[in-house]
Copies of this chain bind each other. A is one copy, B any other.
Amino acid sequence: MNRVINDPEKVVEDMVRGIVAAHPEMALDSANPRVIGVATKKPEGSVGLVTGGGSGHEPAFLGYVGPGLLDAVAVGEIFSSPTAKSFLDAFKAADRGAGVACLYGNYAGDNMNVKMAVKMAAAQGIAVKTVVANDDVASAPKTEREKRRGVAGEIVMWKCGGARAALGGSLDEVIATAQKAIDATRSVGIGLSACTIPAAGKANFHIADGEMEVGIGHHGEHGVQVTKTVSSRDMAKMMLDIILPDFPLAKGDEVSVLVSGLGATPLMEQYIFYADVAEQLEAAGAVVAFRFVGNLFTSLEMNGITLTLTRLDDELKACLAHPCSSIGLKVLA
């Protein structure tokens, strides 16, 4: 795998340098080079929003900092949780006196470090409440939802929580909206090729040409099955067959559909897949009210596609329509 990097051990450092250079509206924390936030603080007294996670999923996580979205992001090494200290520093950067909502994904390292950081923040007088995303249906059965990973559904959680904060919601209100958003969200992914951590130099998992892994995680975590590759239409059907039994849709239910490429998937293919998903959802009686297509939550140069569905109510629709601006997502007023 040829790459556009300098030192394989410093890809995160070099990326952060590029992000800040390319986006003057974003700024590195003066004390911690693994925390990125908004350069201009939002209004005093509004709730701060924080997330964090391993690098390699760009534009997640740091690409969702901006007006109507997150305030600060703790940046981990590739596919590794940020430190507790970085989460704490992100809380400090995001706090404007109204407390901080930490909206993050369900991974062991992140859970541990966020918990430690929340305690450290409390000792410093900063109130932090959390929502843990667990939208990845294929990662554990319905009866063990607390074991499921957080994946691209986190974007919906950030978008809705961010809108609620921008609309003046209290910490409890922002947490309630973010929790509602992720509770109404399910995701599943199909992997078509593996990816390689630059410093490791070779992939720690493998997908053969002509095969695909259904339900794969963003770091090669095993899914529900390995099969021969099928058409986009059949991928859409397999993915809906995994999501819908877990998350039945009634006729007329309004949904948001988020399709993300995993890194190397051409945008052309993402739109082909979107058309197949929308057609099958509409045939099932659902109404697609919001659509997001693109490389929104990736895994380096992995090939594959993910599908995220959210069942909407009036509050979530208003939150998704609320303006926001960031690298990964812009919604115009």
CB within 8 Å of B: which A251-300 residues: 263-276, 278-279, 291, 293, 295, 298, 300
User: Could you pull out 15 A-B pairs where Cβ atoms are within 8 angstroms?
Assistant: A1-B209, A2-B192, A2-B229, A2-B303, A4-B235, A4-B265, A5-B232, A6-B276, A15-B271, A17-B275, A18-B275, A21-B274, A266-B301, A267-B295, A325-B332
> Which of these, B11, B264, B275, contacts A301 with CB under 8 Å?
B264
Does A206 sit at the interface, judged by CB under 8 A?
no
Does A217 sit at the interface, judged by CB under 8 A?
no
Chain A residues in the interface with B (C-beta under 8 A):
1-6, 11, 14-15, 17-19, 21-23, 55-56, 58-59, 63, 192-193, 207, 209-212, 229, 231-233, 235, 263-276, 278-279, 291, 293, 295, 298, 300-301, 303-305, 325, 330, 332-333
> Which of these, B6, B192, B295, contacts A3 with CB under 8 Å?
B192
Indicate if the CB atoms of A278 and B209 lie closer than 8 Å. Answer: no
Closest B-chain residue to A192, C-beta based? Answer: B2
**Inter-chain contacts of A330 with B (CB < 8 A):** 330, 332
**Inter-chain contacts of A207 with B (CB < 8 A):** 2
- State the CA gap A232–B4 with chains docked (Å): 5
**Inter-chain contacts of A59 with B (CB < 8 A):** 267
Indicate if the CB atoms of B5 and A231 lie closer than 8 Å. Answer: yes
Smallest distance from the beta carbon of A267 to chain B beta carbons, Å? 4
- State the CA gap A264–B303 with chains docked (Å): 8
Smallest distance from the beta carbon of A59 to chain B beta carbons, Å? 6
Most-contacted residue by chain B among A15, A59, A193 (CB, 10 A): A15
Asked whether A22 and B332 contact (CB < 8 A) given A5-B269, A265-B4, A268-B300, the answer is no
Indicate if the CB atoms of A303 and B303 lie closer than 8 Å. Answer: no
- State the CA gap A229–B3 with chains docked (Å): 8
Smallest distance from the beta carbon of A223 to chain B beta carbons, Å? 15
